[in-house]
Structure 1
Amino acid sequence: MKASPRQQRLLLDLQDLDTGLARLRRKRQGLPERQRIADLAGEAESAKQRFMEAQRELDLQSAEIERIETDVKLVSERRARDEQLIAVSTSPKEAQALQSELDTLARRTGELEEKELEVMELQEAAQKVFAEAEAALNAVEDRRSELRAALQAGEARIDTELKSGAEERAGLAAEIQRDVLAEYEDLRARTGIGAARLRGNVSEASNMALTPAELSTIRAAAPDELVYCPGTGAILVRVDEE
C-alpha cells in the first residue's frame, strides 16, 4: 500500500492522539473515587442492616407499649364502671362481687404499670441503639454522596478532554487517505497500535531492535511504501530517513 511520507507522519500524529485518548479513558475508569465508592458498599450494607434491625426492635418495643397502654385504658374503664355500679348497688352480694373484681383490676393495673416501666426502659435502650445506627448509616451515605460528587466532577473534566481530543482526531483523520486510514484502524483494533516510529533499528511498536535482515528489507522499500513492524504488525514510519 502506498502513502506519502506526509501521510505516514499523520498516522503517527493519529496514533499519539489515540494513545492519549485511551489514557484518558483508563484514567476516567480508574478515578480513585470509583474504587472508594465500591469499597464503601460493604460498609454501607452493614450499616443499613444494623439500622433496619434497630428500627425493628424499636418498633417492637413501641408496639408493646401501645398494647400495654390499651390494656391499662380498658382496665381503667372497667374499674370506673364497677365503681359506679358499686356506688348505686343495693345488693350486698352484688357489691361484694364488684369489690372483688375491683381488687383484681387494681392488681392488674399494678402489673400493667410495672410491665410498662420495664418496656419503657427497653424502648429507651432501643431508641439509643437506633439513633446510633441511624447516625452511622447517615455518615456512610454522606461519604458516598461526597465521593459520587467528586467522581462526577472528575468524569466531567475528563469528558471535556475526551470531547476535545475526539474533535481533534476527527479533523486529523479527515486528512488521511481512506485506504491508509482503514489499514491503520484495522491494525489498531487488532493489536492496539496502528502506527509507530522506526528509530534507528528499534521499532517503537514492539520496543525491540530489528534484525539486520528485517532492517535491510525495510530500508530497501520506497519512501511511499507502507512497511510493518515484524513483531506487532503495526505500520512503521521511518522518521530517521525523513
Structure 2
Amino acid sequence: MKASTRQQRLLLDLQDLDTLLARLRRQRATLPERTELEGLGSEHAAARDGFMRAQRELDTQRGELERIESDVATVQQRRDRDTEMLSSSTSSKEAQALQSELETLTRRQSELEDRELEIMEVLETAQAAFDEATQLLEGVDARRAEVTARLEAAERELDARIAAQSEERASVAAELQRDLLDLYEELRGRIGIGAARLRGNVSEGNNMALAPAELSDIRATAPDELVFCPGSGAILVRDYEE
C-alpha cells in the first residue's frame, strides 16, 4: 500500500493520541479512590451490621421496659381498687381476702419494680452501644461521601481530557485516507499498536534495533511505500528528516 509521507506522519499523530487515550482510560479505571471506596464498602457493611444489632437490642430492652411498666401500672391499679374496697368493706371475710390480695400485690409490685431497675440499667448500656454504633456508621458514611466526591471530581476531569483528545483524534482520522486508516485500525486491534516510528535503527514498535539487513531493505523502500516493523508488525514510519 502506498501513502504519502504526510499521511504516514499523521498515523504517528493518531497513534500518539490513541496511546494517550488508552493511558487516560486506564487512569480513570484505576483511580485510587475506587480502591479506597472498595475498602470502605466492607467497613461500612460491618458498621451497618453493628448498628442494626445495637438497634435491635435497644428496641428489645425498650419493649421489655414498657411491658414491665405496664405490669406495674396494672398492679398499682388493682392495689388502689382493693384499698378502696377494703376501706368500705363491712364483711370481715371480705376484708381478710382483700388484705391477703393486697399483700400479694405488694410483693408482686416490689418484684416488678426491682426488675424495672435492672432493665433500666441494661437499657442504659444498650443506648450507649447504639449511640456508639450510630457514630461509627455516620463516620464511615461521611468518609464514603468524601471519597465519592473526590472520585467524581477526578472522573469529570479525566472525562473532559478524554473528550478533548477524542475530538482531536477524530480530526486527525478525518485527514487519513480510508484504506490507510482501516489498516491502522486493524493492526491496532490485533497487535495493540497501529504505527510506530523508526528512530535511527530502533523501531518504537518493540523498542528493538533492526538488523542491518532489515534496516537496509527498509531504507531502500520508496518513501510512499508502507513498511512494517519486523518485530511488532506495526506500520513503521521512517523519519526522513534524519
TM over 0.5: yes
Instruction: Deviation per CA, 1:90-125: give whole Å up to 9, x if none.
Output: 211111111111111111111111101111001001
Q: Does 1:141 align with 2:137?
A: no
What secondary structure sits across from 1:133 in the alignment?
helix
Q: CA deviation at 1:38?
A: 1.0
Residue in 1 aligned with 2:199?
199
Matched, 1:31 2:31: yes
2:172 is aligned with 1:172:
yes
The question of whether the paired residues in 2 share the 8 Å contact of 1:205 and 1:229 is answered with yes
Shift of 1:241: 5.8
SS of residue paired to 1:174:
helix
Q: CA deviation at 1:32?
A: 1.4
Per the alignment, residue 63 of structure 1 pairs with 63
1:152 equivalenced with 2:166 (yes/no): no
Compute the displacement of 1:81 (Å). 1.7
How far off its partner does 1:230 sit? 1.3
Q: Aligned letter for 2:131?
A: A
The CA distance in 2 between the partners of 1:212 and 1:241, in whole Å, is 20
Provide the residue aligned with 1:211 in structure 2.
211
Distance 1:167 1:27 in 2: 19
Structure 1 residues not aligned, in runs of 5+: none
Q: Deviations over 1:15-50 (max 9, x none)?
A: 111111111111111221111111112211111111
Report the secondary structure of 2:175's partner residue: coil
Residue of structure 2 equivalent to 1:231? 231
State the one-letter code of the partner of 2:186: D
Shift of 1:220: 2.3
Deviation track 1:111-156 (CA, whole Å, cap 9, x = no partner) reads 1111011110010011111111110111011000000001000100
| Equivalent runs, 1:72-111 vs 2, <5 Å | 72-111=72-111
Name whichever of 45-54 and 1-10 sits farther off.
45-54
Distance 1:240 1:220 in 2: 12
Cα separation, 1, equivalents of 2:221 and 2:158: 41
Q: 2:143 is matched by which residue type in structure 1?
A: R
User: 1:49: which partner in 2?
Assistant: 49
Partners of 1:199 and 1:240 within 8 A in 2: no
- Residues of 2 paired with 1:225 and 1:78: CA distance? 110
What CA RMSD, in Å, does the superposition of the two structures yield over aligned residues?
1.2
Q: What is the deviation of 1:217?
A: 2.3
Instruction: Give CA deviations for 1:24-79 in whole Å, capped at 9, x if unaligned.
Output: 11111122111111111221111111111111111111111011011111111111
Q: Distance in 1 between matches of 2:101 and 2:205?
A: 100
Rounded to whole Å, the distance in 2 between the matches of 1:183 and 1:195 is 10
Identity %: 63
Letter in 2 for 1:152: E
- Give the unaligned 5+ runs of structure 2: none
